[in-house]
Chain A
Amino acid sequence: MNIFVFVKRVPDTESKIKIAHNEARIIEEGLNFVLNPYDEYAVEEALQIREAKGGTVTVVSVGSDAATTILKKCLAMGADEAVLIKDDNPESYDGLRTARIIVQFLKNKAGDYDLLLFGKQSVGADNAQIPAMVAELMDLPQGNVVTSLEIEGSKGSVLREIEGASEKISFPLPAVVSAQKGLNEPRYETLKGIMAAKKKEIPVISLEELGLDKEAIKPQISVLKMESPPERQAGRKIEGEPQDLAKQLVQFLHEEAKVI
């Protein structure tokens, strides 16, 4: 099994996000960056499959030099190789653009593969577009937002949580699968893994080397505005006798909240 896992460097979910004054971007200074949590499930799944069936796990990130830290983390978890596709474009929020870069990598540089794993979305941008777009552009079957993945010979099957049920789908390999929370419990990096990762080189591939010219991959999306969510207002207090309170509450739910 040759597995590629696509990973992204994102702000720690516990970081307090601040928006630059009058600009459509978040302030990165002072933020703690981590491997996207959903990608971590994808890496763990890849490692478990490799441990059971052999093969190699390659992690790939499209991003700036700073992304090498998360690639090192994946190597420390146990990935065999890591590749950085260097993209100095600041966060473009254009999923199709990133998908095209990944597709170009798969066509020109990746060699053979059986499975392409992703996190279901990256926290921060939360577009959840790339796995589906890559599958579509590569004409591959896909199982997205999965909580279980099984590989039998040249077939894969996944479980997906859907409204009120869980859905099982199967498909031939190669395929695209994106990980949801619950797929597995990612391992802790061991000191041994960290030291082994230190010795590994991470090759850097430029967009030009992938045969992409700047014009062709100009972001098609421009972010016009970013705003913090409005401060939560204090709840409304109602007072009075129990009977009266019930009446007020029902009236509110019916007429204002319109939920009953």
Chain B
Amino acid sequence: MDFNLSEEQIILQQSVRNFAEKEILPKREELDEKEEFSYEITQKMFDLGFFAIVIPEEYGGMGMDYLSYILVVEELARVDACQAATVAAGNSLGSAPVYYYGNEKQRKEFLPELVSGKLFGFGLTEPNAGSDAGGTQTTAVQKDGKWILNGSKIFITNASTEITLGSIIQAVTGEREDGKKEYTCFLVRQNTPGYKAVPMHKKMTWRSSNTSEIYLEDVEVTDDDMLGKRGEGFHQMLESLDNGRLAIAAMGVGGAQGAFEAALKYSQERKQFGRPIGKFQVIAFKLADMATEIEAARNLLYKACWLKDNGKSFGKEAAMAKLYSSEVMKRVTHEAVQIYGGYGLMEEYPVAKFYRDQRLLEIGEGTSEIQRLVIARKLGD
């Protein structure tokens, strides 16, 4: 067993931390309040290589391991979940599916841009198909050698920014021999006639991350825009979510760490009854529990990454890490607000935002209920 990070991973971790504290922290509150997606910060993150981490060098990527990617997301989330979300979705749900399932032409067309300055959305969820991703109603019908897409998507991260190239759209393309629906994914470009992606506002969580609704009205695409083969859509989506869960788990660990550090510091400074509140055993024990749970969540996450990086099966552990880290961050942010008392409820203090941003983690990329389902199903394996 070896718990050491490599020299490169340590340098990476310090570099991202430094970047997050100097470039993101000063703007965090304002962006959150205005519900504003920051093009400036996003481009800086592109320039540093945060969207190129695991993509191989031949497509302009860095060819780093998955743990390195997770360290980047964790460090960003320690300061701001929203920037972490842009990066996590950009990597796990934007460039990764294009790399894993795309043909050579699609890889060459999209990847160099997706690693250097453009985003791609991952359109699975629909108004009537959330946890039940098989309930997809968007259809693709063949006509005169083309595919005609109709339907809508909701809650799609990174899908309607000025730097979005398009989105992967899962659609029903027919029926399989066994009578079940057949799903296929298409790469749909932003300017395709009949395609519209609109930002969603008034979010409680991830306010400076871009979340979109997508409308498809007689959108024409061709076989060349198909991701992988016909009928592989559902599998592609589920596999992408397996990978994506590790990044959501990293947001849980990083966010919990950020909230914990704020609470620890506050407990040393805030005085009541003549002493720092951290000296009261009740508060000290809360902090001890928080630190313990964060450590456990981090170890579970890194173990899942190690499994993946070593080519072993990691789906169960990824779901466990996602479930556990989200819930650890829930408990940690809950107690962090408690330690801040009334000030914890005020947006000028950092823990309120951690508290709000945590909420998504139990819902996005499979709710906690669905994670338990996934884990339970794998227990017999």
Report chain B residues within 8 Å CB of A69.
7, 10-11
Closest to B52 in A: A191
**B11, A190: Cβ atoms closer than 8 Å:** no
Q: Which chain A residues border B128 with CB–CB below 8 Å?
A: none
| Complex Cα–Cα for A34 and B15 (A) | 11
A218–B266 CA distance with the chains assembled, in angstroms = 47
The answer to whether A195 and B64 touch across the interface, beta carbons within 8 angstroms, is: yes
Within the complex, what minimum Cβ distance (angstroms) separates A8 from chain B? 16
Complex interface residues of chain A between 170 and 214 (CB less than 8 A to chain B): 188-192, 194-195, 197-198
Decide if B50 is an interface residue (CB 8 Å cutoff): yes
**Nearest Cβ on chain A to B278's Cβ, whole angstroms:** 15
Q: Among A72, A76, A191, A194, which residue has the most Cβ atoms of chain B within 10 A?
A: A191
Measured in the bound complex, the distance between the Cα atoms of B15 and A252 in whole Å is 49
Tell me, yes or no, whether A73 is within 8 Å of chain B by CB: yes
Q: Is B296 among interface residues, defined by CB-CB distance under 8 A?
A: no
Q: Give chain A's interface residue range (CB within 8 Å of chain B).
A: 10 to 19
Residues of A within 8 A of B199 (CB): none
Residues B49 and A191 in contact, CB atoms below 8 Å apart: yes
Min distance, Cβ A208 to any Cβ of chain B, angstroms: 26
Q: Considering only CB atoms, which chain B residue lies closest to A186 in the complex?
A: B18
Proximity bits, A70-87, B CB within 8 Å = 1, else 0: 001100100000000000
Q: How far is the CA of A194 from the CA of B63 in the complex (A)?
A: 11
Contact (Cβ within 8 A) B19 A72: no
Q: Report how many residues on chain B are interfacial, defined by Cβ distance under 8 Å.
A: 18
Taking CB atoms, residues of chain A closer than 8 Å to B8 are 72, 76, 194-195, 197-198
Kindly identify which residue among A68, A189, A195, A198 contacts B15, using a CB–CB cutoff of 8 Å: A189
> Distance (Å) between the CB of B26 and the closest chain A CB?
14
Of the candidates B18, B48, B63, the one whose C-beta lies within 8 Å of that of A195 is B63
CB distance from A199 to the nearest CB of B (A): 10
* B283 lies within 8 A of chain A by Cβ: no
Over the window 4-40 of chain B, the binary record of Cβ atoms lying under 8 Å from chain A Cβ atoms (1 yes, 0 no) is 0001101110110011000000000000000000000
B50 touches A191 (CB 8 A): yes
Q: Are A190 and B47 in contact (CB under 8 A)?
A: yes
Interface residues of B in 55-78 (CB under 8 A from A): 62-64
- CB distance A191 to B7 under 8 Å? no
Q: How many A-B residue pairs have CB under 8 A?
A: 45
Q: Once bound together, how far apart are the Cα atoms of A195 and B12, in whole Å?
A: 10
- Chain B hits for A188, CB < 8 A: 15, 18-19, 48
The answer to whether B53 has its CB under 8 Å from any CB of chain A is yes
* Known interface pairs A191-B52, A195-B62; A73-B47 also in contact (CB < 8 Å): no
Chain A residue at minimum C-beta to C-beta distance from B72: A191
**Which B residue's beta carbon lies closest to that of A185?**
B22
> Could you tell me the distance in whole angstroms from the C-beta of B148 to the nearest C-beta in chain A?
41
Among B11, B15, B62, the most chain A Cβ lie within 10 Å of the Cβ of B11
Interchain CB contact under 8 A, A191 and B19: no
B12:A194 contact, CB within 8 angstroms:
yes
Contacts of B52 in A (CB 8 A): 191
CB A30 to nearest CB in B, in angstroms, measures 14
8 Å CB contact of A191 from B10, B18, B64:
B64
Chain B residues with CB below 8 A from A192, complex form: 49, 62
CA distance A74 to B64 in the complex (A): 19
Contact B49 A68 (CB under 8 A): no
Beta-carbon contact of A191 and B53 below 8 Å: yes
Shortest distance from the beta carbon of A186 to any chain B beta carbon, whole Å: 9
Given the complex, which residues of B lie within 8 Å of A72, measured CB to CB?
7-8, 11
Contact with B along A153-165 (1 / 0, CB 8 A): 0000000000000
- A7 nearest CB across to chain B (Å): 14
Are the CB atoms of A197 and B15 closer together than 8 Å? no
Q: Say whether A189 contacts B11, CB under 8 Å.
A: yes
Residues of B near A68 (CB, < 8 A) are 7
Considering the complex, give the chain B residue whose CB is closest to the CB of A72.
B7
Are A189 and B12 CB-contacts (below 8 A) given A195-B62, A195-B63? yes
Contacts known (A72-B7, A198-B8); A191 close to B14, Cβ less than 8 A: no
Closest to B53 in A: A191
Which B residues form the contact surface with A (CB < 8 A)?
A: 7-8, 10-12, 14-15, 18-19, 47-50, 52-53, 62-64
Binding site for B on A (CB under 8 A): 34, 68-69, 72-73, 76, 188-192, 194-195, 197-198
List 10 additional A-B contacts (Cβ < 8 Å) besides A69-B7, A191-B48, A195-B64.
A72-B7, A76-B15, A189-B12, A189-B15, A191-B50, A191-B53, A191-B64, A194-B11, A197-B8, A198-B8
Identify the 5 closest CB pairs spanning chains A and B, nearest first. A191-B49, A189-B15, A191-B62, A188-B19, A73-B11
